[in-house]
Structure 1
Amino acid sequence: MGQSKVLLFANLTVNMGLFWEERPLGFRWSHKTPQYPDPFGPLYDTLGDRGLTAVNQSEFATGYQQTAFNIFAETSFVWPSYWSVDAFSGNNAKESWKYEYSVTPAYHGADLTAYFSVNTATPTEGIRHAFQKMLGSFIIKDSPVISIQDAKGGASDAIVPENTDGHILWPMWNSSLPIMMDLNTTGGSLSYRNVTEHLAYWLREDPGVVNHLRLANAYLWEGDGVNDVGFGGKSVRAYLSK
């Protein structure tokens, strides 16, 4: 029998402050109590690997409201994505790649326009082209690793991790070296959208938007990264596996 492909997406909006701590006698759950910003402070996205984290800061909320968002997001979407990507890795018959969709506003489901839409204003053409090429390559060639040219989406000043063979550098998932791809954009101009009293966000619009793809340690993303493994991210976390 041939290999069967499984395409699984695990989406989230934001992450929380629960961490997995390894001890000599086993494991335990703990909650890190961070320094909480003003609940009425400025709203902005976190960087993922430095500065404030999505534990208590995002473009949707700050303080304990943000943590409440994270608790739901992490338990419902993020943790299952880690468990599943581990399950679909580890030998020649199981291969998986992990990524995060960070293009603002990146709430749950906002990434669908990048995967399946045509001629939409946001997200911009470059990131749509890159991700749809990744998805198509995974389906046809069993790997989402695409050419540097496709990953840049037609912009010479786009930033992507480059390999020496003309393709992007994107290692398969390995829990001992947990590298994921962060899919984002930069440049252009920001447009504020006030949808309802409780939902408002920024959109990044052309001209001038370019892709910004980078590799990141998935276990240190949006966490303290010292003694614990912090699961989470500020946007859409997902993986491809076969």
Structure 2
Amino acid sequence: MQSLCTLSFVLTISFSRCCLGQSHPAPVVDLGYARYQGYYNTSYDLNVYNGIRYAAAPIGKLRWQLPRLPAQNRSQVFPAIEPGSQCPQSAFGPGPRIIPPQGSEDCLFLNVFAPANKTKLPVMVFIHGGGYGSGNAGFDLVPQILTNGNKYITVAIQYRLGAFGFLSSADVAKSGVLNAGIHDQYFALQWVQKYIHLFGGDPKQVTIGGVSAGGGSVMLLGMANGGVDNTTLFNGLFVSSPYLPTQWKYDGEWPRKYYHSFAENVGCHTDELKANNSVFECLIAADTDVLQNASNFVSTSALYGQWAFIPVTDGKFIKERPTTQLLKGGKLNGVRILSTHNRNEAPDFTPQGLTTEENFVGFVSENYPMLSEENITSILDLYYIPANASNILVASNGENPPYSTTNSEWAYGWQQAATNLYAETTFICPSYWLADGYANKEHGKAWTYQFSVPPAQHGYNMYPLFAPTDGAGTGMDTVFRTALQYMFGNFVLRGDPTLDQAQISALDGNGGNITAAGAGVWPQWQATAGSNWMLNLNMTGGIPVNNTYVQDGVTLEVVSYMPSNNISSTALEADFQLVEGYSWEGGRGKRCQLWADLAPWTLE
């Protein structure tokens, strides 16, 4: 199995200078507080500006405070060629407890990719993932900008991570700001409103998007301030596998535990400092390397595949739990959403060796320690593994058994039950809940799709958006990649991801079936069981694999397909199908409703 460390695509994307090809100086952009000059790429007809400072360095007395405007510095024109320093990084647990500090607290930078000589363009603001502990904005969305005719601008932002962005306790609430990393993102969106016109963008046409913790961030920005911002900062939201770990109240048991552990590792948890209520002041004055090491040390003490420092319900900026606010409907920022997830979200986030019901219950209880025995019984009713369940590795097709509740390409039995449970509670149900929230909002619109191309792991649905459409070796052909990039571009450009007839015709005849994504065919998601229509995106063909599966005493023959990396040598073709999300995977909607009902016992 692929380890968590290799999922670098979704957790952190290495800095790289985008857009290979000849380049020349781009026009100087005057932001008032500073002037920046990026470069013009002749191959893509884009002006690229990397490493633009959008907020003052959050160091010293600005640690754990609201972001502030940068100081004015007009003494020179700053080169905007390379991305700015990444924020301090914290690993997931369990892991090596001591690593060299990686990053700088002076990291509130963003990158802009703007088609040249154009104005009033829609804007896509992308927020990186990484469990709120790692990652950076050193990536680009250039391939799909080009696919969509260079008709919109993208902005990639950085924000404080780990303890620097998500330290939480009563001390922080009293003397600083909670959810500082989400406040950074909010501040960057305010920057876009004020300055993006200088790059050719239209601040009235902003879509925000993100993957994993970036998707979770988009969710929280949609909830920010109780939804009263509405369309002030953005109209649309794109969420990919929105990460929703246990969202405690800001002074809950786990945030308090991690705060005290962090302060202790920094050397600020002495009896004298505690007696004088000076622990927080000590943290503000501490050396950055000591703070970075402490942040990473504590984060790696978190549960398997998780980070210690994550968003909390602060009662002011993030007023409620996501399940509460999203399922109320209406009290949300923005008016439209495109929500997506993968079929196999959690193999690398779930500890291995869970072979019995006792193991399963232990896993659930450890992740959600406030559950009662009655709650556990309710969970077992929906995730139970029958004694005659098959021990085969087989990809679920979502509509017929074996479902992902019992079998996948990665696991079977109680191991798969735990993996699927974590996938649903942490990534997939939040995707559903977001679609519900915007479908229920007045004038709201929601579309949803699942990415099922093997191995369909966490983050894999972003590969065809971030790579050229003619890329090979990942089981997706040009038709699949291009159609998906069209869908993404359509959502940014006109607020509707469905493919128009011209786009379908341009791909027709090249193999595959993408018509289910067409306008008038792919309906909006409705927050009603039986009307949760979504797309299932897959590639069919390849090498057939026959398996026998026993369900309730009935023997079933299951045929799945193993794609080859060499697409030209197989019959793999794009296969987009319209499916009903509530009944999908043996009743996923019912399981998501259970978790919404249990939220007060799991997310508080």
TM-score normalized by the length of structure 2 = 0.31
TM-superposed CA distance for 1:86, in Å, is 1.0
In the TM superposition, what are the counterparts of 1:59-98 in structure 2 within 5 Å?
A: 59-91=409-441, 93-98=443-448
The residue number in structure 2 matching 1:143 is 496
- What is the CA–CA distance in structure 1 between the aligned matches of 2:455 and 2:489, rounded to whole Å? 24
Equivalents in 1 of 2:516, 2:457: separation in Å? Answer: 28
1:101 to 426, 429, 451: 451
String of CA shifts for 1:87-133, please: whole Å, max 9, x gaps. 11235531110110111110001112111111321222221111000
In structure 1, the partner of 2:62 is none
Question: Residues 169 and 43 (structure 1 numbering): CA distance in 2 closer, same or farther, change over 3 Å?
Answer: same
Report the counterpart of residue 37 of structure 1 in structure 2: 389
Identity, % of aligned pairs?
25
Equivalence map 1:113-124=2 (5 Å): 113-118=463-468, 119-121=470-472, 122=474, 123-124=476-477
**Distance in 1 of aligned mates of 2:439 and 2:500:** 23
In 2, are the aligned partners of 1:99 and 1:181 still within 8 Å (CA)?
yes
Tell me which residue corresponds to 2:240: 9
Letter in 2 for 1:135: F
Contact 2:541 2:563 in 1 (8 A): no
Local SS of the residue matching 2:583: coil
Q: In proportion to residue count, which structure has more helix?
A: 2
The answer to whether the aligner puts 1:217 opposite 2:580 as a matched pair is yes
Count of paired positions: 205
C-alpha distance in 2 between matches for 1:43 and 1:168 = 37
Between the aligned partners of 1:135 and 1:218, the Cα distance in structure 2 is 20
Provide, for residues 24-57 of structure 1, a one-character-per-residue CA deviation record: whole Å limited to 9, x for no partner: xxxx94423243534xx33120110112100110
The residue type paired with residue 102 of structure 1 is S
- In 1, Cα distance between equivalents of 2:540 and 2:523: 23
Contact 2:525 2:534 in 1 (8 A): yes
The residue identity in structure 2 corresponding to 1:178 is N
Indicate if the aligned counterparts of 1:133 and 1:146 stay in contact, CA closer than 8 A.
Answer: yes
Contact 2:522 2:534 in 1 (8 A): yes
**For 1:126, which of 446, 461, 479 is the aligned residue?**
479
Q: Does 1:179 align with 2:533?
A: yes
Deviation at 1:73, TM superposition (A): 0.9
1:120 partner SS: coil
Structure 2 Cα separation of the partners of residues 67 and 217 of structure 1? 22
- Cα offset for 1:79? 1.4
SS in 1 for 2:540: strand
Q: 1:37 to 1:29 in 2, by over 3 A?
A: closer
Aligned to 2:460, what secondary structure does the other structure show?
Answer: coil
- SS state of the match for residue 184, structure 1? strand
Q: Which moved more, 1:214-223 or 1:202-211?
A: 202-211
| CA deviation after TM superposition for structure 1 residue 162, in Å | 5.2
Separation in 2, partners of 1:29, 1:173: 27
The corresponding residue for 1:195 is none
Q: Deviation of residue 168 (structure 1)?
A: 6.0
Letter in 1 for 2:471: T
**Contiguous gaps of at least 5 residues in structure 2:** 1-202, 205-230, 242-340, 347-359, 361-376, 545-561, 594-604
Match runs of 1:190-209 below 5 Å: 203-205=563-565, 206-207=567-568, 208-209=571-572
8 Å CA contact 1:159–1:211 kept in 2: the answer is yes
Contact 1:98 1:179 in 2 (8 A): yes
- Relative to structure 1, is the Cα distance of residues 184 and 140 closer, same or farther in structure 2, using a 3 angstrom cutoff? same
1:170-199 Cα offsets, whole Å, 9 max, x none, are 101111211111111112458xxxxxxxxx
- The C-alpha deviation readout for 1:176-232, integer Å capped at 9, x for no partner, is 211111111112458xxxxxxxxxxx544412321111111100111158xx72449
Q: Residues 151 and 104 (structure 1 numbering): CA distance in 2 closer, same or farther, change over 3 Å?
A: farther
**How has the CA–CA distance of structure 1 residues 97 and 230 changed in structure 2, closer, same or farther, with 3 Å as cutoff?**
same
1:56–1:146 CA distance, 2 compared to 1 (3 A): same
- Secondary structure of residue in 2 paired with 1:97: strand
Tell me, in whole angstroms, the C-alpha distance in 1 between the residues paired with 2:459 and 2:516: 29
8 Å CA contact 2:393–2:409 kept in 1: the answer is yes
Letter in 2 for 1:64: W
Query: 1:199 is matched with which residue?
Result: none
- Corresponding letter in the other structure for 1:222: E
Give the distance between the partners of 2:409 and 2:578, measured in 1 at CA. 23
Tell me whether 1:169 sits opposite 2:521 in the alignment.
Answer: yes
Q: Deviations over 1:138-175 (max 9, x none)?
A: 10011001035645844455234459xx7461101111
* Structure 1 residue 47 corresponds to structure 2 residue 397: yes
Q: Residues 223 and 229 of structure 1 are in contact (CA less than 8 Å); yes or no, is this contact kept in structure 2?
A: no
The letter for the 2-side match of 1:144 is: P
Looking at CA atoms only, which structure, 1 or 2, has the larger radius of gyration?
2
Give, in whole Å, the separation in 1 of the partners of 2:477 and 2:525: 28
Q: Which amino acid aligns with 1:120?
A: G
- Structure 1 residue 14: deviation in Å? 4.9
Secondary structure of 2:575's partner? strand
Q: Which has the higher contact order (CA 8 A, sep 6+)?
A: 1
